[in-house]
Homo-oligomer: A and B are copies of this chain.
């Protein structure tokens, strides 16, 4: 079993050794986490996507050469290697471990301090599926199934609730204590009594109204009291598939009884 964690890379220095397809995926992942990236690999091994990422992002520094040695690890906070050379991978991993720099070596589990998993992203929402190396394909299939069942508006709802929470903290500041507990309880009440689609429909004006009518009066207003019925109509139409079969069966039952009655009349 692994310890699944959300590593913070904002403005941290990540060294990528390699420039192929796997390396390009790694670069995208750490850029999404706001890292500062250095790529070390000879230009002839550069995948088009890697080349594009190097050209497009001012957060990526590129060195057209092989990995040199410990001098490449100075002030580096994380190393990701994606090269075919198993011996070189092992050397880099050993250096990193001596210097206590977290390392992932693609396709070499034994050389890794951590693994990547199958991921879902939707705004501030991130989900990782790990099978602990047992089956990457099933991790992928489970990811797809989760994507299908995830509320479409989950990322948006989380972002809006994050804003609500921030503005609430401005109104009722303080760490811990009574006010901290009251804030947390009210936030939990809002999140559990409102639907996710309703939370996602909040905007800056309605967030202010929710704080005025809710937090200030120590209650949780209904969605309609704050936002109105407008959005509700769009998002909560009944699903027809469940109604279809009973209606058809009702008509069928009535038709059967009618046929029996008609047959009876003829006799």
Which residues of A are in contact with B by a Cβ distance under 8 Å?
1-9, 29-30, 32-35, 84, 86, 99-102, 104, 107, 112-117, 119, 121, 124-135, 137-139, 141-142, 145-146, 148-151, 154, 157-159, 161-162, 165, 175-176, 187-188, 191-192, 196, 199, 242, 245-258, 261
Contact = CB atoms under 8 A, between A and B. Distances in A.
Nearest to A149: B149
A8 B29 CA distance: 19
Contact of A2 (B7, B134, B148, B150): B7
Contacts of A251: 253
The 7 A-B residue pairs with the shortest CB-CB distance in the complex, in nearest-first order: A253-B253, A134-B162, A257-B257, A2-B6, A246-B249, A253-B254, A4-B128
Contacts of A115: 5-6, 8
A114 B8 contact: yes
A72 to B, nearest CB: 17
Contact of A130 (B117, B126, B131, B191): B126
Contacts of A4: 4-7, 117, 119, 126-128
Nearest to A78: B3
A100 to B, nearest CB: 4
A254 B100 CA distance: 77
26 contacts: A3-B6, A3-B9, A3-B29, A4-B117, A7-B114, A124-B134, A126-B131, A127-B146, A128-B128, A135-B162, A135-B165, A135-B187, A137-B188, A138-B154, A138-B161, A138-B199, A139-B158, A142-B151, A145-B149, A146-B149, A246-B249, A249-B250, A250-B250, A250-B256, A253-B256, A254-B256
A128 B176 CA distance: 26
Contact of A5 (B101, B114, B161): B114
Nearest to A189: B137
